[in-house]
Amino acid sequence: MVMDINEIREYLPHRYPFLLVDRVTELALGESIVAYKNVSINEPFFNGHFPHHPIMPGVLVIEALAQACGILGFKTVNKLPADGYVYYLVGSDNVRFKRPVMPGDQLVLRADVIREKRGIWKFACRATVAGELACEAEIICAERKVA
Instruction: CATH number of the domain at 90, please.
Output: 3.10.129.10
For 28-80, write each residue's pLDDT tens digit.
Answer: 999 999 999 999 999 999 999 999 999 999 999 999 999 999 999 999 999 99
- Amino acid type, 84: G
| Burial tier of 112 (Cβ tally within 10 Å: 0-12, 13-18, 19+) | middle
- When divided into structural domains, the chain yields a total of 1
Per the rule left: phi > 0, alpha: psi between -120 and 50, beta: everything else, 97 is beta
For the cut 90, the answer to whether the pLDDT of residue 6 exceeds it is yes
Asked whether the beta carbons of 86 and 14 are under 8 A apart, the reply is no
Going by their DSSP bridges, the two strands 120-129 and 132-145 should be labelled as: antiparallel
Residue 48, CA distances (Å) to 29, 100, 141 in order: 38, 15, 29
Residue range(s) defining the domain that contains residue 125: 5-145
**Which sequence positions are flagged as catalytic?**
49
- The letter for the amino acid at 58 is G
pTM of the shown model: 0.97
pLDDT given at position 147: 73
The model's pLDDT over 97-120, given as tens digits with 9 standing for 90+, comes to: 999 999 999 999 999 999 999 999
